[in-house]
Amino acid sequence: MAIVKSPRRSVWRHSAAIGLSDRSLRRILHNDLNFHPYKIAIVQELNDRDMANRRISSEQLLEMLNYDGVINTLLMTDEADFHLSGYVNKQNYRYLTPENPQDLYQRPLHSERLTAWCRFASFGVLGPYLFEDNEGAAVTVTSQHYVAMLCNFCEPELGHRGIDLSPV
């Protein structure tokens, strides 16, 4: 079967080669043969040298963390967008089913969303911080909003906790 020999060849090209409409071929592949399209995942290739470099870097980080006082300056931050309309990014959402459920998800073109930020460190969690304007409406995170968050939220909160992160 040509499909098995050339699975990366498009349905359109296969249909042209055998003289069948691509819609009919898709229907046959899906309904009769239970063939389903899968999205390719692109990942970074790792080799043996990369693993050795990761090990060395991890050991250096652990050594640095064990050094007196350094663990108190390790900070990790993350932020996430929460869509207020219930929208889910379809690129991050996959499911497998033997038959197409024909579900239809309608969403606005530009979904209103809220960005939340949080910082984790040895002293605990700092946040969450919601990026909003003075009226409480969600705003797009820009460098100005980020700097304002650092100055108006992070620095005072760290000060209340008695934490000084100034360079030694």
- The pLDDT-based confidence of 147 (bands split at 50, 70, 90) is very high
For residue range 33-68, list pLDDT tens digits in order.
Answer: 888 777 666 566 778 888 889 899 988 877 877 766
Does residue 23 form part of some domain?
yes
Tell me phi and psi for residue 76, to 5 degrees: -130, 135
Mean pLDDT of the chain: 77
- Of the chain, the end-to-end C-alpha distance in Å amounts to 69
Per-residue pLDDT at 162 = 83
Tell me phi and psi for residue 124, to 5 degrees: 125, -160
- The pLDDT-based confidence of 96 (bands split at 50, 70, 90) is very low
Does residue 61 form part of some domain?
no
Whether residues 155 and 81 fall in one domain: yes
Q: How many CB atoms neighbour CB 129 within 10 A?
A: 19
Per-residue pLDDT at 119 = 85
pTM over 0.85: no
Does residue 53 form part of some domain?
no
* Block residue for tokens 């705003």: 139
- The pLDDT-based confidence of 152 (bands split at 50, 70, 90) is very high
Number of folded domains that form the chain: 2
Whether residues 136 and 75 fall in one domain: yes
Whether residues 91 and 10 fall in one domain: no
Show the domain range for 145: 71-160
Does residue 11 form part of some domain?
yes
Q: What is the mean pLDDT of residues 60-87?
A: 73
Residue 105 scores a pLDDT above 60: no
Does residue 155 form part of some domain?
yes
Does residue 144 form part of some domain?
yes
Cβ–Cβ under 8 Å, residues 121 and 75: yes
Residue 137 scores a pLDDT above 80: yes
Does residue 141 form part of some domain?
yes
